[in-house]
């Protein structure tokens, strides 16, 4: 199995993605869909960050706005406050951590990059919810995760009508990547947006055709961890969806995923180890 070598410039260093890497999720939110990712105290934040880094996470993705359907609205100021609190705690103890900030607001992105040196902005809306996001990314000179979603976290699950979901998501990515390139943004990661404005069947259609996204010639991120497309299929819940997550992550790696965004870093790293051995055989 041949994997094209891709690179990202993160914190002024070139990161080789010839072997897939793991992004650990740390949310400072009271209402994230998986309660194991909710970190609202300094102790829980530090404990989560230290475990993820020790288990092999290359990147920590920090969120201050739950995007589960239908998430409650969070003000810009509150989101900045939540994210800043987490970043201050983590970077004080782990100053070399590669930080991604999960936000669709350019003001939050600007604050995180200018004040905390965030290396990546993870935008669930692909720039559709804030017209200034792409310019902000270009000005900051950071990497950008371009995810596909329709609508917003409050209404996205009412917007699942597609002709051919794979071709429509690919076309969205192609157009947005072209816009980013015109602004001089080259460190782009694509995320098909599993669970965002998609039915269970549509999510699996995207996972089945994930290899098509390699045509975009940028790294692919798969965010499948403990999502409803897994636990609803198995008639369980997010708490009991670790085994399903591991199975889905392996399918994503087989489809060409370069980054796994997960709640459970150790298990994701083990999945990558097995996948790498399989590829060498």
Report, as residue numbers or ranges, the catalytic residues: 227, 261
Contact 257, 210 (CB under 8 A): yes
d(CA 69, CA 138): 30
Task: Give the residue carrying structure tokens 């870093």.
Answer: 265
Burial class from Cβ neighbours inside 10 Å (0-12, 13-18, 19+) for residue 201 reads exposed
85 vs 28: CA distance, rounded Å = 8
Distance between CA atoms of residues 39 and 50, nearest Å: 13
**Residue 111 corresponds to which tokens in the numbers above?**
């604050």
8 Å CB contact between 146 and 169 = no
Residue 160: partners with Cβ closer than 8 Å, 6 or more residues away: 150, 197, 198, 199, 202
Calpha distance 78→34 (Å, rounded):
21
Residues 6+ apart with CB under 8 A from 235: none
Query: Helix, strand or coil for residue 16?
Result: strand
């Amino acid at each position: 199995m041949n994997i094209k070598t891709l690179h990202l410039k993160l914190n002024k260093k070139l990161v080789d993605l010839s072997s897939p890497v793991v992004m650990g999720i740390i949310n400072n939110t009271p209402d994230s869909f998986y309660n194991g990712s909710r970190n609202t105290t300094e102790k829980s934040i530090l404990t989560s960050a230290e475990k993820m880094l020790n288990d092999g996470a290359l990147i920590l993705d920090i969120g201050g706005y739950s995007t589960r359907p239908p998430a409650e609205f969070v003000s810009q100021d509150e989101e900045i406050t939540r994210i800043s609190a987490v970043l201050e705690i983590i970077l004080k103890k782990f100053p070399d951590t590669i930080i991604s900030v999960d936000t669709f607001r350019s003001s939050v992105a600007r604050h995180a990059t200018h004040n905390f040196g965030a290396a990546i902005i993870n935008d669930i809306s692909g720039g559709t919810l804030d017209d200034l996001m792409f310019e902000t990314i270009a000005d900051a000179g950071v990497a950008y995760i371009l995810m596909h979603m329709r609508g917003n976290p409050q209404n996205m699950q009412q917007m699942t009508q597609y002709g051919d979901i794979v071709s429509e998501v690919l076309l969205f990515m192609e157009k947005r990547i072209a816009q980013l390139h015109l602004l001089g943004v080259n460190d782009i990661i694509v995320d098909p947006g599993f669970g965002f404005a998609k039915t269970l069947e549509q999510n699996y259609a995207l996972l089945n055709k994930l290899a098509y996204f390699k045509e975009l010639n940028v790294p692919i991120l798969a965010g499948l961890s403990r999502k409803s497309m897994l636990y609803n299929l198995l008639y369980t819940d997010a708490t009991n969806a670790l085994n399903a997550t591991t199975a889905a992550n392996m399918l994503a790696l087989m489809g060409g995923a370069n980054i796994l965004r997960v709640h459970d870093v150790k298990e994701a790293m083990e999945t990558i180890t097995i996948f790498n051995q399989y590829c060498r055989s």
